[in-house]
Chains A and B, each alone.
Chain A
Amino acid sequence: MDRGTMECAVDAQSLISISLMKIHNSRTQRGGIKLHKNLLVSYVLRNARQVYIKEKYAEIYRMQQYEEVMTVCNEIQELNPLDPEPEDAEEEDLEVAALSCCAPLQDGGGKEPETSFYRSCCMETPGSPCDPFAGNGSHCNKTTVLDLDTHVVTTVENRYLHQDCCCSAPQCAPVPDSPVRKRKGDFGCCASDLEEVSDFSASRKRVRREECTDPNYTDTSNISNLISIFGSGFSGLLSRQADLEQICSKQALASLGAWTRAIVAF
């Protein structure tokens, strides 16, 4: 995915939230849901999600390496740092490496929300009280599908996990519909702001979006809750590296289905 050709500072995360907002708004558009437009939006969602997952995967890989190194760092610190043992030379290298790894994490800057999101994932290692496999996520795994031909409404239960649901329980209400209603308020202000922009000017648009920035708007957990409504599995982020690779590729294949399900649901 060549992102260098795009002029405006687009990242996968903001594309995902913009796309979800478009799908959400299409529910209230006059004339009914436009199947063609929603299908195209779902392709953008899929593409952005693939990049997002890849980035997350890369970050997790880096962080896991960092954690391993930090473990070694701690062990090193227990030893006498002034004892010039030949084997320590190698460990000192590791320490230096660990310290340089620490730096990017500390100046999170714009990636702050992402880092905190990641941390919440990482800290909940198996054995935490919030065990996603315990079936606590049952309230978040339903998708409603309306077949426009037969007018049959079916509710599909998909087995997938969303740790955010468990960890941030207050944000994920027991009724599947209410997170959508909650989000309406958040999007309301931003949707009208985006629509008001009539002149095409990338810089001007960026200013407007900054003005509109509601702490919730670009919050990753916000996105992940919405994604949970759409039946997507971000579970790949939560397990170990090897599992991660497997799940990521499976998710990539299954993802389009999940997104088109989202269209039909509305």
Chain B
Amino acid sequence: NRAVFFAGPGGGSSDVQWYFSQVKGAMDDDVAEADIISTVEFNHSGELLATGDKGGRVVIFQQEPESKNQAQCRGEYNVYSTFQSHEPEFDYLKSLEIEEKINKIRWLPQKNAAQFLLSTNDKTIKLWKISERDKRAEGYNLKEEDGRYRDPNSVTTLRVPVLRPMDLMVEASPRRVFANAHTYHINSISVNSDHETYLSADDLRINLWHLEITDRSFNIVDIKPANMEELTEVITAAEFHPNQCNTFVYSSSKGTIRLCDMRASALCDRHTKLFEEPEDPNNRSFFSEIISSISDVKFSHSGRYMMTRDYLSVKVWDLNMETRPVETYQVHEYLRSKLCSLYENDCIFDKFECCWNGNDSVVMTGSYNNFFRMFDRGYRQDMTFEASRENSKPQSVLKPRKVSTGGKRKKDEISVDSLDFNKKILHTAWHPLDNIIAVATINNLYIFENKMN
């Protein structure tokens, strides 16, 4: 029974205080590559929080029930299940190694006692069932307790096995493997509101699957040109509409978003709507194409809006207006003059994600120096916070941070040249019903929450 906590400021305004709650992960500065977090996702109730990493593992945290002693103190998230989702593979035909890195995790809505999630690497999607076992059958007739089979001749009486309680065991088992449908690298998966189908998108194609059927999928978008020399854009993200099961969107490297209706035709190559903002000619540079590439697209919970993230900004679009976004938020505009260096060190290719809070009043995204930003759409306020071990005392307040862009640097401000570009927050998630956020640095997961007054 979870109360909805956020009546009032949604979390992005200065009236709301954010507090450090927990941090997960190793404390060493020496980061093992396999531990790099590559995706973070709350389930539909917010009770479970899943992370995927570069080593192909999935770690699921579960929120403890609120303690009766400390009223209004939310439960902690503790490890619930850990399993190896994907292993590295080798494609012998193409002489290519397939990375085991988990690109995305998406939860299915809960239908019974078990939980289901989809996890994907570059080529293969897997459906995992996570179930609890807290009872064990004892007293078999043909087996000993340790599992060895008894000699049938030694059985003289029959008994009915009984269920006895045991320590809780959480099991993850792969129920479906959806393979061999993508030539290019999968960047997105999205579960449909019909709870029966889902889509997977790679650089050039989007496929529609039925959750029960693994040996075939329908191709619904194909932007591969007949001649690869004519390639000018790729698909960067795709998502189903939250309540219209016939509608989905996909974003491109050219900064456009296409909305497609699956009722219109089997192959949705012709979009129903095209969302594009004309480029500002004053901002033209060598890197214009790179920074306009969209790295993430997310529908609002209401389904009325969608949000896109490109390198420097977050844009909120009204699905009824294709010509320009209704809101644009600059995440780190001070980087515009640094694009050349960011190109040299490859940071300009970083793919930042973005997320909505539960009632769509606040949007959040990450930046460098382990900063993350919140934009309150209603109160027109933005906040910058830092996820760091230094600010990790239990229940310590998160102090707003500021990057100084002008010549004079005020106290407590940090200059652009002091920013650590190796510390980046690419993945953030917001609890669907509460003001709890999960923020992933390179190899740590921070959980912050706000307080009720």
Contacts and interface: CB of A to CB of B under 8 A. Distances in A.
B54 to A, nearest CB: 10
A62 interface: no
Interface in A2-28: 2-3, 5-8, 10, 15, 18, 22
A1 interface: yes
A156 B183 CA distance: 23
Contact of A145 (B122, B228, B340): B228
A48 B344 contact: no
B184 A7 contact: no
Interface residues of B, number: 51
Interface stretch (B93-101, B163-171, B406-414): B93-101
Contacts, number: 127
Interface in A125-184: 145, 147-149, 151
A39 B225 CA distance: 14
A149 to B, nearest CB: 6
Interface in B103-157: 122
Given A32-B94, A32-B96, A39-B232, 4 more contacts: A1-B285, A31-B96, A40-B290, A43-B289
Nearest to A34: B185
Contacts of A7: 337-338, 340-341
Interface string B225-250: 00011111110100000000000000
Contact of B285 (A3, A194, A199): A3
B304 interface: no
Interface stretch (A68-76, A200-208, A235-243): A200-208
A264 interface: yes
Contacts of B286: 1, 3, 6, 10, 15, 44, 47-48, 51
Contact of A44 (B99, B287, B421): B287
A250 interface: no
Contact of B422 (A8, A48, A198, A261): A198
Given A6-B340, A18-B344, A43 B290 contact: yes
Interface in B204-236: 204, 224, 228-234, 236
B339 interface: yes
Contact of B231 (A6, A39, A198): A39
A22 B417 CA distance: 24
Contacts of A252: none
The listed residue with most A CB atoms (<10 A of its CB), out of B229, B288, B422, is B229
Interface in B271-285: 282-285
B231 A260 contact: yes
Contacts of B339: 6
B177 to A, nearest CB: 19
B342 to A, nearest CB: 8
Interface in B239-267: 253
Given A35-B185, A40-B349, A200 B417 contact: yes
B420 interface: yes
B285 A31 contact: no
25 contacts: A2-B282, A2-B283, A2-B284, A6-B337, A6-B340, A7-B340, A18-B344, A22-B346, A32-B96, A32-B97, A32-B122, A35-B204, A39-B231, A39-B234, A40-B290, A43-B290, A44-B287, A47-B289, A48-B286, A149-B224, A194-B344, A202-B417, A205-B341, A261-B229, A263-B231
B379 interface: no
B422 to A, nearest CB: 6
Contacts of B99: 30-31
A32 B232 CA distance: 20
Contacts of A3: 285-286
B417 A201 contact: yes
A197 B345 contact: yes
A8 B282 contact: no
Nearest to A37: B349
